[in-house]
Amino acid sequence: MSARKLGPASQVGHLRACKRFAAWLGRSPETAEPDDVRDFQQHLVETGTSICTRNRTIRG
Q: Is 3 part of a structural domain of the chain?
A: no
pTM of the model: 0.81
Q: With respect to residue 2, please indicate whether it lies within any of the assigned structural domains.
A: no
Question: Do you know the residue count of the chain?
Answer: 60
pLDDT at 5: 74
For the segment 48-56, the average pLDDT, to the nearest whole number, is 90
SS3 content of the chain, % helix, strand, coil (to 5): 70, 0, 30
Look at residue 1 and tell me if it is in a domain: no
In a domain, residue 26? The reply is yes
d(CA 14, CA 33): 19
Range of the domain at 28: 8-59
pLDDT of residue 37: 94
Per-residue pLDDT tens over the stretch 18-44: 999 999 999 999 999 999 999 999 999
Q: Rg of the chain over CA atoms, in angstroms?
A: 12
